[in-house]
Every structure is written in structure tokens, then in C-alpha cells.
Amino acid sequence: MLDEPQRGLVAAFAATGRNHPYLALTLNSLCNLDCVFCKPRCMPDYGHKDRPLTARDYAAIAAEAGAWGIRKAHCSGGEPTLRADILDVIAGLAEGLGPGAAIGITSHGNLRRGLSVEQLHAAGLTYLNLSLHSLDPARSAAIMGGGDPGTTRRTLDTALALGLRVKINCVLQRTYLDDAFAVAQLARELPIAVRLIELQNIGPAQALFDAEFISEAEVRERLQEWFSGAGEVPRTLLGVRSPGRYLRPAGWAGSIGFISNSSCATCSDANRIKITPTGVARPCILHNRDIPLKPHLAEGTLGDAFAHLFQAMLDRDTNDAWQGFHYVDYDLRWDRMERPEGTPVLPLLPVLPTDAAGPSCSRASTGER
């Protein structure tokens, strides 16, 4: 049960008109693939030097979050399904958030031996985001450093058969643009949402950015035949809570959306409570009010931690470093990224010209990865 000040924070957040917060849990930094724009093994803390949160920790966090009205948790990595306890983590989140909660995971879909979509669903998974950048095995391997898109497709089909909602994440690269369009066309026959994601000029992708970046506006121009007369799909129907438009071309079973944090990013409706593998909670990447959860887990004071998180999200609107735009959307997998406590982590951002993003910008914000 929340006390009166805590209920006041929930009411104050609701009064902003923003979507209610949800948990964005990065479960690990490990991955058995090596995507060219991610390259996890090149990160200095690959594998985590510190003890990650346990399944019991996640269950406790979810139980507290449920008391604050949070009804969604999304798990990412690394490749979260590499965790030996992933079924326990999913089950703990589902139980903690309560009946009707949305529990999701982002995966490349090449599940390790002994793990199945059926098991994830039985543990409480309600939706699945799959990373798929090409349907051609050789070109997919060139992008992802391994894996089999055929296996990902079978994972997709199984998830749909079980009644899970499925979204596809496909990163746009100029060299592989036709591959992305082929992935997008899966939505012709399948009731899925394909999200075309702009390459971001951060981390390992910096080496590719100048040659490979292609904007949403240019892609929309190339796909204008698809989008002519397309109907908009409500985000609530898709289980998507970020801004940005999802369009269903005429006659298609599924939809296409964009995540465009390079050309037209905004965090005006950002509502993720990001939690790193070792339990550092980050309500906003611009206003640094990180809070380590492990002491609160040990002392039974998670209510105080969530009060801090809700207040930090409210305070973001008065933070001088926040002007409605940002140019990075760190997954925040890496616990060792230096972030001085209590101060903005980025300088003041320039105000963009009103036409800087181009007329086709859908104002897509931080996407659920």
C-alpha cells in the first residue's frame, strides 16, 4: 500500500498526461551474436564484473512497482534468454505486477538449447520483440555475426501461434536497405508490427554511421507506394507506449512503424524506468538521478526508491538540460558508464529548427528495444 505522499506522486505524474511508467530491465550484457552496430564484446565491462540482480530481486522490484500502478515490464540485454534463470525472472515479474500485466522480452530469436517460446509463455511472457535485419542467411550473418534468420522466423511463428504479440526490430543500413524492406514485408501476411530503426551515431555504430545512415524521411519516400492510403494503427492495440505512428498499408495484416532517434527524436512522452543488470535505476538519461536499488532491496525500502524515481521523472520537465530533444537512446546495458551523481550528464542541447527533421518525421521517441 502506498502512503499519502506516494499516492500524491502518482497523481502528479498522471496529471502530466504522460503514459504511466513501465520497467525497462536490462538483464545482462552477454550476447552470443555480434551485431555490427552493437558489438557487445568490445565493451570494457562485457560479462559484468559486478553481481547482477537475481530472479528474487526482480520479483521484489515488480511487487513494489505493481503497488505504484506499473503494469508493464520489458526485458532486454545483451541477449536476455542466455540467463539460466530467465524463466524464473519472467515468472517473478508476472506475479509481482499482477494479473493483466504486459511482460515482454527482446531477443534475436535463436534461443539456446533447452529453452522454448512455449516455456517463456508459460512463465508469463505476453509479447516478444525479435531482432531481424535480413531474411538472407549470409547477409544476416554479416550484420549479426551469426545466427539464422530461419530460426528467428520459426520463433516468430511459434509466438503467434501461442497468442503472443510480436514486434520486429530492424535496423536500417544503406547497404542492407533492400533486406530491411524484405523484413518489413513480413507484415503483409502476418499480424506483426515491424519497426524500422534508424542507425544511431553512438558506440560501435559510429564507425558505420556516415556511410550507412539513412533517415526515416528518405525511407518513407522510397516506400510511398506502401504508405499511400495506409491506415494508422492505435498504439494501444499494438501494446506500444512510445510516440510515433504505426501504419498499416492497404490489405496488410500487420503494420510498419519507425524509431527515429537520430533524425527526429523526442522524449516528450518518455516513461521508462531503466534498470541496469546490477540494479542501478535510471528514470531519465538527461537528468541524472540514478539510484542503486540493491541497498533498498536489502533494507526493504523499495517504496522510497520508487518515490525517488517518480519525483525524478517529474523534475525532468524543469531540468535545463532537457528541451524536448535528445540524440541518444542508450540501452544502458553497461553499468560502468560514468554518470556523476545528481548532475545532468549532457550539456545543454541546441534547439533544432522547426524543419530540421523533415516533413515526414513521425516524432518517434525512444522505442522499446
pLDDT for the residue numbered 4: 96
pLDDT for the residue numbered 29: 83
Helix 86-97 and helix 55-67, axial crossing angle in degrees, nearest 10: 20
Write out pLDDT tens, residues 204-242: 888 999 999 999 999 999 999 999 989 888 766 766 555
Q: pTM of the full predicted structure?
A: 0.87
Question: CB-based burial of residue 189 (10 Å sphere; 0-12 exposed, 13-18 middle, 19+ buried)?
Answer: exposed
3-state secondary structure of 223: coil
Cell numbers at 328, concatenated:
541518444
Is 163:116 a contact under the CB 8 Å cutoff? no
CB crowding 307-324: b at 16 or more within 10 Å, else e: bbbbbbbbebeeeebbee
Cell numbers at 284, concatenated:
531519465
DSSP for 339-352 reads --TTS-SSPPPPPP
Say if strands 127-131 and 102-107 run parallel, antiparallel, or are unpaired. parallel
Q: What is the pLDDT along the chain (369 residues), one digit of tens a residue?
A: 899 999 999 999 898 877 889 999 999 888 999 999 888 777 665 666 668 999 999 999 999 999 999 999 999 988 999 999 999 999 999 999 999 999 999 999 999 999 999 999 999 999 999 999 999 999 999 999 999 999 999 999 999 999 999 999 999 999 999 999 999 999 999 999 999 999 988 778 889 999 999 999 999 999 999 999 898 887 667 665 555 678 999 999 999 999 887 777 555 566 788 898 889 887 765 555 678 899 999 999 999 999 988 887 777 665 554 444 333 334 444 454 555 444 444 333 333 333 433 334 443 333 444
Is 84:52 a contact under the CB 8 Å cutoff? no
DSSP for 163-212 reads T-EEEEEEE--GGGHHHHHHHHGGGGTSS-EEEEE---SSGGGHHHHHHH
User: Rounded to whole angstroms, how far apart are CA atoms 7 and 1?
Assistant: 9
User: Rounded to whole angstroms, how far apart are CA atoms 364 and 369?
Assistant: 13
Is 35:87 a contact under the CB 8 Å cutoff? no
Is 258:363 a contact under the CB 8 Å cutoff? no
* DSSP code of residue 228: T
What is the distance of C-alpha 239 from the center of its chain?
A: 12
User: Rounded to whole angstroms, how far apart are CA atoms 76 and 44?
Assistant: 19
Write out pLDDT tens, residues 245-276: 789 999 999 999 998 877 775 555 667 888 98
Instruction: Write the CA distances from 18 to 75, 102, 104, 304, 317, integer angstroms.
Output: 22, 18, 21, 22, 12
pLDDT for the residue numbered 322: 45
User: Rounded to whole angstroms, how far apart are CA atoms 357 and 361?
Assistant: 6
Residues pairing with 131 in the sheet:
169
Q: Which CATH number fits domain 20-354: 3.20.20.70, 1.10.40.30, 1.20.120.160, 3.40.50.300?
A: 3.20.20.70
3-state secondary structure of 294: helix
User: Rounded to whole angstroms, how far apart are CA atoms 338 and 40?
Assistant: 17
Helix or strand run (H / E) with residue 97? helix 86-97
